[in-house]
Structure 1
Amino acid sequence: MNLEHKDDISPVLPEGVKNYLIDIDGTITDDVPNEQPERMETCEPFPDALETVNKWYDEGHYICFFTSRTEEHREVTTNWLNKHGFKYHSILMNKPRGGNYHWIDNHIVKATRYVGKFTDLVEKSTTIQVFED
């Protein structure tokens, strides 16, 4: 994927392309903690997650798995994703554990909480916290 750089500062995705950061454990497969790495090889993907993620990839979106799995679990994670046919561009390991994230960035960040079913995303209005003008 070719990313355009605006003023040599930050890559800009082409119009209509999304940059998906997708958790692994509890989102595309069972919630497997780092303390049980033997389960990382044998867990099964959620079928709707595999189908949806690969559809987004095929549509030209950028897929990055962002996981709390530690660097020592990179090989088993990569092998598992490949074994089950997930299409992706990158994996970021060592996401902070615990949840209740509050992401602050100089780019617009959209978040979707996984609650049991992977589908196409739909537009909804909600209240969010923002910095005061």
Structure 2
Amino acid sequence: MKLKLFLISLSVVAISCGESEPKILNEKKISKSDLKDKWPLTETEGTLKCVQFEIEGVNPELSKGVLIEIKGIDYALNGTAKTWSDKYGYSNIEEIWSDNLKLKNDLMKLGVSEKDATSKISIAPLIEEGIKLCE
């Protein structure tokens, strides 16, 4: 009986101390064919998600994050989602973010070394699509 009460008490403490998982407000499939030459990732499709982080004392409109799920892995896209990456285990978008090869070649023609001539395709169009899901 004492063990049962202890476990119930422990469960109540764990629930009250823990923060809830972010709530998915909206999501949609998106692919390279949707953004054409503006597609910034090495993978060709995923699911964009708008999520709501529960932050005590913060206006809910300011705590929405944009993620993209690809092959079962959530990647943080905007600053709000990146802030919570460690806590919720979101992967770094850098892992699948495509290089801008045209700009890299242009920089190398100007004498910039291949190592230093790094640039990524803008991720802004993907973030903008995700933000639309939050509206």
Q: What's the TM-score bracket when you normalise by the shorter of the two chains?
A: under 0.3
**Structure with higher strand content:** 2
TM-score by length of 2: 0.25
Highest CA radius of gyration, 1 or 2? 2
TM-score by length of 1: 0.26
**Structure with higher helix content:** 2
